[in-house]
Copies of this chain bind each other. A is one copy, B any other.
Amino acid sequence: MDLENTAKALKELGHPTRLNIYRSVVRAGYQGIAVGGLQEKLEIPGSTLSHHISGLLSAGLITQRRESRTLFCVAEYDKLQSVIDFLQEECCADEKT
């Protein structure tokens, strides 16, 4: 992944509330967690929560799946992995040469 996209993902993770949301989504595994579930669990006003979720979505860190009226948030583990890969790939590159 490129620098701009990685920075975007890191930025979205770099806010306590959003990191907490993301963490809850990650914990929920492949089935995900409902927006309402997050709201209840984290006690965040709906509008604020929705705003933060859209940040995580725009970075590709999570996706959503609808089941009738309920929207589930699901972690995109691959995205997290590519962020981590970006952070680690150039480690000590100048010394290696």
Which A positions have Cβ atoms within 8 angstroms of B? 3-4, 6-16, 18-20, 23, 26-31, 77, 80, 84, 87-88, 90-95
Contacts and interface: CB of A to CB of B under 8 A. Distances in A.
A42 to B, nearest CB: 12
A70 B22 CA distance: 40
Contacts of A92: 26-27, 29-30
Copy tally for this chain in the complex stands at 2
Nearest to A90: B27
The SS class assigned to the A binding surface is: helix
A87 B13 contact: yes
A23 B90 contact: yes
A8 B14 contact: yes
A28 B29 CA distance: 37
